[in-house]
């Protein structure tokens, strides 16, 4: 299954303000490299704009996998970034939209199917409106993480044929020990 992660860097504006835009650009490049090093080559890493990034993670099977990867991503971003003689400290707010079932149902039609790794996507195989909604849920989860000052927030959808729709719930990480 493919799972989208939305990532927003925390306090990035202060890096630009304090060290200049060239330093901010260096931080963005370093974060992009760290994200690529954190995920597998089959996963997709992209910068959406500004200080926001997206990951599309392949083959996630459980919410525990999602939480473990969100922690790993946050930890990679939080390592100080050398800017000449100073170190910049950035954190991130991460939002994830997770569908535990292989298919997500809206009403009577299947709207998002898991596409096996390596499969070529042909025109019409993926309902683009459902993909857009999935990405919106990940984006909304990221803003929830930011608002609650958490590393990540998982928005989980559970297909329920008896309701003929979806039930959504949110999950937050366990309290730090």
Positions marked active-site? 51
- Cα–Cα distance measured from residue 105 to residue 152, given in angstroms and rounded to the nearest whole number: 25
Helices 21-38, 12-19: inter-axial angle, 10-degree rounding = 140
User: What's the helix, strand, coil split of the chain in %, to 5?
Assistant: 35, 35, 30
Q: Taking a C-beta distance cutoff of 8 angstroms, is the pair 43, 58 a contact?
A: yes
Taking CA atoms, 172 is separated from 59, 80, 132, in Å, by 22, 25, 23
- Cα–Cα distance measured from residue 161 to residue 106, given in angstroms and rounded to the nearest whole number: 10
- Cα–Cα distance measured from residue 35 to residue 90, given in angstroms and rounded to the nearest whole number: 14
Find the helix or strand (DSSP H, E) in which 110 lies.
strand 109-113
Find the helix or strand (DSSP H, E) in which 27 lies.
helix 21-38
């Amino acid at each position: 299954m493919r799972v989208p992660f939305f990532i927003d860097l925390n306090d990035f504006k202060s890096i630009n303000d304090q060290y200049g835009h060239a330093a901010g650009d260096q931080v963005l490049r370093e974060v992009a490299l760290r994200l690529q090093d954190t995920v597998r080559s089959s996963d997709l890493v992209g910068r959406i704009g500004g200080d926001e990034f997206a990951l599309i993670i392949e083959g996630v099977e459980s919410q525990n996998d999602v939480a473990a990867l969100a922690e790993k991503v946050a930890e990679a971003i939080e390592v100080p970034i050398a800017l000449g003689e100073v170190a910049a400290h950035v954190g991130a707010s991460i939002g994830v939209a997770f569908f535990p079932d292989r298919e997500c149902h809206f009403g009577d039609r299947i709207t998002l199917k898991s596409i096996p790794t390596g499969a070529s996507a042909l025109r019409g195989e993926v309902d683009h409106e459902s993909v857009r909604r999935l990405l919106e849920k990940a984006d909304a989860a990221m803003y929830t993480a930011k608002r609650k000052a958490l590393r990540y927030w998982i928005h989980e959808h559970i297909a329920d044929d008896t309701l003929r729709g979806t039930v959504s719930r949110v999950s937050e990480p366990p309290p730090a020990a």
